Structure 1
Amino acid sequence: MTILVIGGGKMGMSHLALATQYVGKSNVALCDTKFSTRVLFRLLGYKTFADIEVAASKVDRLEGVLIATPTPSHAPLAKWAIGKGVPCFVEKPLTLNVEASTELKSLAAAKGVPVQVGFVLRYVASFQRLRHLVQSKQLGAMLDYTASMRGNVILKPPAADSWQGQFKMGGGCLNEYGPHIIDLCQFIFGPVDRVGDVRMSQVFCAHADDRIDLAWSHRNGSVGAVEIDWCDTTKRKSVVEFKVKFEEAEVRVDNSAVEITWNDGCTINEEKRLEIDVPIRPSNVAYYLRGEEFSLELEEFLGTCVGRRLSVDDSIPADTMARLEDGCEVDRIIDEIARKAGLK
C-alpha cells in the first residue's frame, strides 16, 4: 500500500513524518514539483515524484492521498483523488471557491469516497472540553461568546508578487486563520445561521485583509462575536481564545487552558463545581511530533485508509473528524464574510 503526500512544504513534511510512523517509510511517497525538495526526500529514503499520474502508476496500491499544496491547487488535486476512488485529506481551506467546494462534495458523494479536511483545532483538549460544557449544559444555558484567533504571520507589507498579500490567491487572515476559527465555532456552538456586521481592516496588505471583526448567530439561537488578526505583534504564535457566558459561570478557554469563574449566586454546589472544573489532560497518541492534535488528525485519516482504528485514545468523540461537508460549509461562510467585507 502507499500513502501519497502531495506537497513537500511545512505541512506536507509534518504529514509525511507522521504517516511514516504509522504505516512505515516504504509505504509513504511524496509528490512535489520542486526538484530540490524531491532530491532531499529521496536522500532520506522516500519514493518521490514530480507528477501525480506518474506517482499513481508506479506506487504499490494507492490507498490514501494527503494534499498539502497551495490552496489554489486543492480543488483539482482533490477532484483527481476522488475520481480515482482514493480517500483523501485536504489541508484547510478546502478551496478558494464555494462552487468548487460544492462540486467536490457532490462528486465525493456520488463516488462514495471519504474526504477529510485539516481542521486540526477540533482535536485540542481544551476546545473539546468547551464543547462538552456547551452541549452538556452543566453550567446552564449558554448566553453569548466572543472568539478570537490572533498571531504574527504578517509583520511588514508582503512582496508585490507574494500570495499572502493577494486575497484571490489565498492570502489574508480570512483565508489563513478564518477556516480554523470558523470551523471551531461551528464545532463547539453549532452551525452558523446568519453572518451579521463585518468590519475589515488593512494594516500591511493592500489587496487582502489583515483583520476581520464580525458578529453572527447560530441555528440554535446563540450569538457570538469573532476577531481574526494575523498581524498582532504581541503574539509569538497563533492563539485562539474563547470567552463564554453561561447562566452559572463565565469560561475562558485558549489552546492549553480552561478557566471557569463562577457567577455570584451560582446554584451549583461545591462538590459538583470540583467535578466540572477538573484539569484537562492532553489526549494519548501513538506517536507525538508537534502536538497531540496533529497526530490525532492523522490517526483518523490513516485509519480510514487502512480500514482499522489507529487511535489509542478512546475518549476522542466519534464526531470530531472534519469531513468534506464541514469544509464546504466553512468555504460558504468565508465567501459570505468576504462579500460583506468588500473582498469579493
Structure 2
Amino acid sequence: MINFAIVGIGHISKKHMDAIANIEGAQVVALCDNNETRLQEFKGQFELYNDLETMLMKQKDIDVVNICVPSGLHANMTKICAKYKKHVVAEKPMALKLTDAEEMIQACEEHGVKLAIVHPNRYRPAFLELRRLFDDNIFGKISHANATVRWNRNDAYYAQAPWRGTKEFDGGVLMNQAIHDLDLLLWFMGEVESVQAMATTRLRNIEAEDVAAAVVTFKSGALGIIEAATTIYPKNLEESLAIFGENASVKIGGQNAINFEVLEAKGLEEEEKVGIIERIKNDPFGTPGHQHIIEDMVLSINEGKVPTVDGQAGIAPVRLILAILESAETGKRVYL
C-alpha cells in the first residue's frame, strides 16, 4: 500500500483525494493545511496537521506528498519533502521561477525520491488519440501549431484569495490557465528555439498578465502561435490545440479542448475518422487525468521507474512561459 499525504486543502485537493480513492494499492493517510477550519472538516478520516515538517517528522508511514498549495510555495515544500525521503506529486505549475524548478529537481535527485508534475490534460482521450496518430507520423513535415486559451476569469475569481493573480504566488494567465496547453504544445512539437511575445494586464485587477500572445520557433523549424487570455466576456469561449502538416490538419477544441473539431489526414479512411470522433464525443474526459498521474507515481515506486510527467517535463512549459514574459518585457526575441 502506498500512503499519500496532501498539503493544501482547497479546490484542487479534492481531485487528488478522489483520484487516490479510485487507485488500488493507494490511500490518503494525512492532510496538512494552516487553515484549521478546513482541516476539521476531515476530523476522524485522516491524521491532520497544520505544519508540513511536523507531519513528516511525526508520521513515518507517508510515502508520497501531494502538493496542492499556491504555486509560489511548491519549491520550498518539495525540498522539505525530499529531505524527509518522500516522493512528491506537485500541482502545476511546478514553480514560478526557473531556479526554483531546478532546485526541486535537484533536491529530489539528491535524496533519491521521485517527482511528478500534474499535467492531466495529456490523458484526455482526444490527446491520447492524437498522440497515437502523431507517433504514426500522420503529419509528415509540420508547418505550425496553435495553442489557444480564450477564457473568462473575472475579478470575483481573483478576489477569492489574496494570492491569486500575484506574481509571487500565482502568476497570470500563462502560468495558471494556459500552462496545460503549453505543456501539450511542447509534448507534440518538441523544444523551442526562440520566442517573440507581448503580454499585458488589460482588464483584471491583478499583478500578473491577463492576456498574452507569442510566436515561437521550434528547433524543428516549425512555428507556433500562442494566445492566452482570461479577459473573454462573458464566459469561457475556447481552449484548443491545432497542428498543421504537409499530410494532416488536426484541431482539438471546444470550451475545454476535449473534442476533435478537425481531423484530416492523408490515408485516414472516412470510417476510421468518424469512429475516432464519435468515440471521443461519447467519452471526452475518460479516466480523470489526476488519477492517471497518481497511478503512474504508484507504478513508478513499485517498479523503480521515472514518472511519465517528471520534473524535466514539468520545467519545460515554465521555461517557455518565463521566456514569453521576458520577451514581452524587453520587446526582444528571446532564445531559449
Normalising by the smaller structure, the TM-score range is: 0.7 to 0.9
Separation in 2, partners of 1:290, 1:279: 14
Separation in 2, partners of 1:22, 1:124: 18
Match of 2:249 in 1: 250
Residue 215 of structure 1 and its aligned partner are, at CA, apart by 0.6
State the one-letter code of the partner of 1:248. N
- Summarize deviations over 1:295-325 as a string: whole Å, max 9, x none: 21221123334x169xxxxxxxx99831111
Contact 1:139-1:248 within 8 A present in 2 as well: yes
Match of 2:47 in 1: 47
Separation in 1, partners of 2:232, 2:220: 32
Match of 1:103 in 2: 103
The equivalences for 1:1-344 within 5 A come to 2-22=3-23, 27-43=28-44, 45-155=45-155, 158-159=158-159, 162-205=162-205, 207-236=207-236, 239-254=238-253, 255-260=257-262, 262=264, 268=266, 272-275=269-272, 278-279=275-276, 281=279, 292-305=288-301, 307=302, 321-342=308-329
Summarize the Cα distance change of 1:308–1:209 in structure 2 as closer, same or farther, 3 Å threshold. same
Separation in 1, partners of 2:22, 2:272: 37
- Summarize deviations over 1:162-204 as a string: whole Å, max 9, x none: 3223223323212212321221111111122211233435212
Q: What is the TM-score normalised by the length of structure 2?
A: 0.84
Summarize the Cα distance change of 1:245–1:328 in structure 2 as closer, same or farther, 3 Å threshold. closer
State the one-letter code of the partner of 1:329. A
Provide the aligned C-alpha RMSD in A: 3.2
Separation in 2, partners of 1:15, 1:278: 32
Q: Which runs of 5+ in 2 are unaligned?
A: 331-336
Contact 2:138-2:248 within 8 A present in 1 as well: no
**2:109 partner SS:** helix
Contact 1:148-1:241 within 8 A present in 2 as well: yes
Contact 1:2-1:59 within 8 A present in 2 as well: no
Separation in 2, partners of 1:249, 1:241: 17
State the one-letter code of the partner of 2:131. R
Separation in 1, partners of 2:66, 2:123: 18
Summarize the Cα distance change of 1:157–1:279 in structure 2 as closer, same or farther, 3 Å threshold. closer
Separation in 2, partners of 1:41, 1:186: 39
Residue 91 of structure 1 and its aligned partner are, at CA, apart by 0.4
Contact 2:300-2:306 within 8 A present in 1 as well: no
Separation in 2, partners of 1:61, 1:160: 35
State the one-letter code of the partner of 2:21. T
Identity %: 21
Summarize the Cα distance change of 1:141–1:133 in structure 2 as closer, same or farther, 3 Å threshold. farther
Q: What is the TM-score normalised by the length of structure 1?
A: 0.82
Residue 161 of structure 1 and its aligned partner are, at CA, apart by 8.0
Summarize the Cα distance change of 1:102–1:320 in structure 2 as closer, same or farther, 3 Å threshold. closer
Separation in 2, partners of 1:158, 1:52: 26
Summarize the Cα distance change of 1:26–1:258 in structure 2 as closer, same or farther, 3 Å threshold. closer
Contact 1:216-1:223 within 8 A present in 2 as well: yes
Summarize the Cα distance change of 1:291–1:230 in structure 2 as closer, same or farther, 3 Å threshold. farther
More deviation in 112-121 or 160-169? 160-169
Q: Which runs of 5+ in 1 are unaligned?
A: 283-288, 310-317
Residue 52 of structure 1 and its aligned partner are, at CA, apart by 1.8
Summarize the Cα distance change of 1:115–1:239 in structure 2 as closer, same or farther, 3 Å threshold. farther
Separation in 2, partners of 1:118, 1:136: 26
- Summarize deviations over 1:57-86 as a string: whole Å, max 9, x none: 332522111000111211111001111222
State the one-letter code of the partner of 1:120. P
How many pairs align?
323
Separation in 2, partners of 1:120, 1:233: 26
State the one-letter code of the partner of 1:247. E
